[in-house]
Structure 1
Amino acid sequence: MKEELSHTESLKIINEMISEAKNNYEQSGSFYFLLWGWVVMVANLGHYFLDKFTSFEYPFIFWLLTFPAAILAAWHGSRQKNKSQVKTHFSRLYGEVWVAIGICMVLTLLFMSKINFNHSAIILLLAGAGTYLSGRMLKFRPLIFGAFALWLAGIVCFSLPMTDQYLVGAIGILAGYLIPGYLLKSAEK
């Protein structure tokens, strides 16, 4: 026996699926903004303080924090993917935006010697692009404002010595990832 849905019932089901997919990304979205916000801010500040105020030979050691963070992010993502019952165009696109941004960031870091290690501005601009698109897709203004903070930090970094770029990067991440991330987390509740 074949059951036909009315136009209204079909639209209701579609809207519920889109809403559930959006809700899944709002809930996991705050996790990623907070995880990467804290890791990148701590790494920036650690690098800045070691480079500026000590003679420690490897101030970049704080960036090793990104490896366990990447493993944690992948683990969390795989758990979220298994939990999610709805796979929509929206959910796939949201994830692909960050995959593309991540690839650009990794490529920038791999070739940073070609730009005299002045990579901070580019990384901040890319983070701003991903944050802006996330804010638009989720219709969440704090992320959009966070993107502008990241872009501003990136612009400022273009005119600073390398060491000072880490301090500006930390401030940009605080304003662009952490504050919107906590606001998104509170909106989830």
Structure 2
Amino acid sequence: MPDELLYREGGSGEKMTEAESLALISQMIQSARDEHHENGRGWRTWGWILFIASAGTFLMLEYEVKGSYFLWNLALPVGIFFMVLAGLRRKKIRKNLTYAQELLDRIGLGFFASLLAMVVGVNVFFIFSTSEGGIDFWGFFYILYGFWMYIHGSALKFRPLVYGAILNWIAGIAMFGVPEMKYKMLIGAVAVLLGYLVPGYLLYFQSKRQKK
């Protein structure tokens, strides 16, 4: 437990009791739950980006449209752009982040760094590989998405996000058994629709009810 949590507010130097420390931690976690993605905006934004990329790629492959993968090349930079905007907006509104809020933000940063590393790694493989065979990597992306959702769903104690995480894990595993790319994208679109967008809109409607 951080040392600063052991002393009462006001700088008196008097140690807090165990019950007071637990109450403070509980209040801090509750504050983070109320503050972090309270209206599901982040999940709805990423949900639409990933859904359009997945469903769009499926349709382009189904109708044999050239350049079908350009949607995925756009998805990550567009998503990061919106994420940075949201971070700047939040810091303008509230400069002092709670410990739990800052921890969730750092987990999100680690997730996107891992995602970017995977994208770079896949591109490096295709640039330098001399093998005629491809690399079946799409399932790993959705397994990683599931990890991100599970962490946030657990922290917020919001079950739809946890269920969405499980759905994305299942979708990621299923993709390794599906040979055709267009059906991988169809599986991904369904997983994002039910795993990202549905929980995101549930959070949005929940926040609307709480404000009434």
Q: TM-score, normalised by structure 2?
A: 0.77
The correspondence for 1:61, drawn from 48, 56, 70, is 70
Relative distance call for 1:72 and 1:183 in structure 2 (3 A) is same
Residues 138 and 172 of structure 2 are in contact (CA less than 8 Å); yes or no, is this contact kept in structure 1?
yes
* Alignment correspondent of 1:98: 108
The correspondence for 2:164, drawn from 131, 137, 146, is 146
Query: What is the number of equivalent residue pairs in this alignment?
Result: 186
Structure 1 residues 75-117: Cα deviation after superposition (integer angstroms, max 9, x where no partner): 1111112212542221111112121221221111112253835
Whole-angstrom distance in 1 between the partners of 2:11 and 2:109: 40
* Alignment correspondent of 2:34: 23
* Alignment correspondent of 2:177: 159
Q: Which runs of 5+ in 1 are unaligned?
A: none
Whole-angstrom distance in 2 between the partners of 1:86 and 1:9: 22
Secondary structure of 2:66's counterpart equals coil
What is the percent sequence identity of the aligned residues? 27
Residues 54 and 185 of structure 2 are in contact (CA less than 8 Å); yes or no, is this contact kept in structure 1?
yes
Whole-angstrom distance in 1 between the partners of 2:32 and 2:140: 31
Whole-angstrom distance in 1 between the partners of 2:85 and 2:118: 24
Q: TM-score, normalised by structure 1?
A: 0.85
Which aligned pairs between 1:1-189 and structure 2 lie closer than 5 A? 15-27=26-38, 30-54=40-64, 56-63=65-72, 64-113=74-123, 114=125, 116-160=134-178, 161-189=180-208
Structure 1 residues 103-161: Cα deviation after superposition (integer angstroms, max 9, x where no partner): 22111111225383522200000000110111111111111101011011101101112
Whole-angstrom distance in 1 between the partners of 2:80 and 2:101: 20
Question: In terms of mean alpha carbon deviation, does 150-159 or 3-12 score higher?
Answer: 3-12
Report the RMSD for the aligned CA atoms in angstroms: 2.5
Secondary structure of 2:36's counterpart equals helix
Residues 26 and 188 of structure 1 are in contact (CA less than 8 Å); yes or no, is this contact kept in structure 2?
no
As a proportion of its length, which structure holds more helix? 1
Relative distance call for 1:11 and 1:109 in structure 2 (3 A) is closer
